Copies of this chain bind each other. A is one copy, B any other.
Amino acid sequence: MRAYKVVFYPHNQTVTVVDGDNLLRTAMEAGVHINASCGGGGVCGKCRVLIESGVVEGGITEKLSAQDLAQGYRLACQSTIRSDLQVRIPVESEVDVSVLNRLATPRKTARIRQVNFEELKEKGLFIPPVEKRYLELPPPSENDRLPDVTRLISFLKAKYNEHRLVVRLPVIRKIPDVLRSNDFKVTATLARPVHEGRKTHIINIEPGDTTNRNFAIAVDIGTTTVYGQLIDLNSGEVLAQHGEFNGQISYGEDVLSRIVFAEKSGGLEKLHQVVIETINKIIRRLVKQTDVVLDEISSITLAGNTTMTQLFLKINPRYIRRAPYVPVSTLFPPIQAATLGLELSDHVTALVYPAVSSYVGGDIVSGVMGAGLYLADEVTLYLDIGTNAEIVIGNKDWFACAACSAGPAFEGGGIKFGMRAAKGGIEDFSIDPVSLEPMIMTIGNVPPKGICGSGLITLVAVLFEMGIIDNRGKFDRDLKTKRIREADGVYEYVLVWAAETQIDRDITLSEVDIDNFIRAKGAIFSGCQTLLEEVGLRIEDIDQIVLAGGFGSYVDLERAMTIGLLPEIDADRITYIGNGSLMGCRMSSLTNRLRKDVVEVTRKMTNFELSETPSYMDHYVAALFLPHTDMSLFPKLKDRLKLRSRHKS
């Protein structure tokens, strides 16, 4: 793709973009404010910019007069960049350009880290758990009366140096006819031992050469959504991915209500059956999207939180929600997938990720494994944020972990106009320091419906850094703008006027919302602090941060530090792995190394119950400020705020 240079005036801010980028989004990510209320939907007509040189596509609407167009004005939200550009932003009031520049913090999201199959191979980590071997056997004769199974095993030994082979009964049943159906030319599917020196199981036999048809399924069993991937075991490639709502949602939104339902008569069986149906639906969809047939799938790996895992395995989770909150087990044995009701061939074994405790489950262990943290020298903070935030700190030698109940703020809960990340969700925000007019980007560039988690972080961060709210999250009552108002005794900021929304109501952010948000981020930050303290470390000892969960991809890292959600650390040392649970499952499909190491890693993971750690409450209370009562934890922010107040005064 061609790269262009875009210069914004009067800020004199230059950024590099690629052909086809949206101009408003480019400005947002460059930290250049353009008034824009409708999230990029082309409705409000406020994001007028003057194209001084270069070419954009689109941006011409009835919101602009013929004269505007003739002069070179375009709507930024509707403009696609097609060359180098010089763009002038009409600054409605006189503002010192230097201020603009100083406040401009370019949006910085975490580097995305992905499984690299070639790297796995290079590192010697590629020990396929399931492999196919093609053999051309001599038929038996008077001088060679090897039994069929012995024949197969002997030639696997001779040709492929395979040892300690055992054959399962269903395969023994198939062998005589399969051997004779294709002139003793067959493909054997081998399931490798996790531990060297253990047995290799011959789990299937097929006529002819099918070695290029070997696939695996990886599944993340989320409380809300279940995701699956279909993986080609020869190339390591993900051939298809599909997500479905967890069918258990009808029986309770969250983990606790599911446990309550499971305790009812028949409840456990129902929840088990429903999640199996969800997974079967996903498997069917994955297969349909590709040319793979069910019988070619050789393995399935799954991970979920402790309750999801127990429900999947039909283990009653009742003691998870009863003091002293013990899960039934950490490790789960491999199990024949078909016996669980999964619509896979009889030879497929389901591997289920082990858990650490009732609230740090297999999904977290899977992420830790998938991200390779357990091999790292660096002290890493692994953070998976949802309703519960799970925190893991450690390196190859040790791990400490904890779950903290962040509440649903990051998923839109407890925020009046909060919503999950979906089309129409406000995901980015900037504000004109003088007019206090907003610049808003929505997911999908459509008129706004609400505020999603990443948008909320930016929103609070910007309002705080611009001094519009104070460190307790309270609005500056002296500011003169109709966007800040009191409603039912609560101050709020109007992000979008009703006319420009999809919901015909003003979309606002109130002090109550901000308060809930601060509690959520405070829970997480203090969780990290407490956990660090328990292992004798401090925030500055963290070498890197890994973010996981659907939440992390769009989070502006600097903003997340500004509000005190993430510890202040060089943004280059933060990576995002997306669905860590799914990533670990995929990795485990590709290499037995993980299957072997995971037992040891799980053992190394020391669980801390934050609610019973005395210092947690102190840390929590101290974290109920923006960014924190102890500003020495955020030295860079402290400097920026000093600069701002110098400018103001």
Contact surface of A with B, Cβ cutoff 8 Å: 140-142, 144-151, 166-169, 172-173, 175-177, 198, 313-316, 318-319, 323-333, 335, 357, 607, 609, 612
Contacts and interface: CB of A to CB of B under 8 A. Distances in A.
B145 A316 contact: no
Contacts of A328: 147-149, 172, 175-176
B316 A147 contact: no
Given A329-B167, A357-B145, A612-B142, A172 B323 contact: no
A612 B143 CA distance: 10
B316 A150 contact: no
Contact of A323 (B142, B315, B326, B607): B142
A167 B333 contact: yes
Query: What is the count of identical protomers in the complex?
Result: 2
Contacts of A327: 147-148
A345 to B, nearest CB: 16
B149 A316 contact: no
Contact of A324 (B141, B166, B167, B168): B141
B169 A332 contact: yes
A147 B330 CA distance: 7
Contacts of A332: 169, 172
Contact of A319 (B142, B148, B172, B331): B148
A328 B171 CA distance: 11
Given A166-B333, A329-B167, A313 B147 contact: no
A177 B147 contact: no
Given A172-B315, A176-B316, A145 B333 contact: no
Query: Which 9 A/B pairs are nearest by Cβ-Cβ distance?
Result: A149-B329, A147-B327, A140-B326, A148-B328, A176-B328, A140-B324, A173-B315, A142-B324, A169-B335
A167 B332 CA distance: 8
Contacts of A329: 147-150, 167, 172, 175
B172 A326 contact: no
Contacts of A323: 142
A313 B326 CA distance: 41
Given A142-B324, A318-B176, A319-B176, A331 B169 contact: no
Contact of A169 (B147, B151, B198, B333): B333
Given A148-B328, A168-B333, 17 more contacts: A145-B325, A147-B327, A147-B330, A148-B327, A148-B329, A150-B330, A151-B326, A169-B313, A172-B315, A172-B329, A172-B332, A172-B333, A173-B314, A176-B315, A176-B316, A176-B319, A198-B198
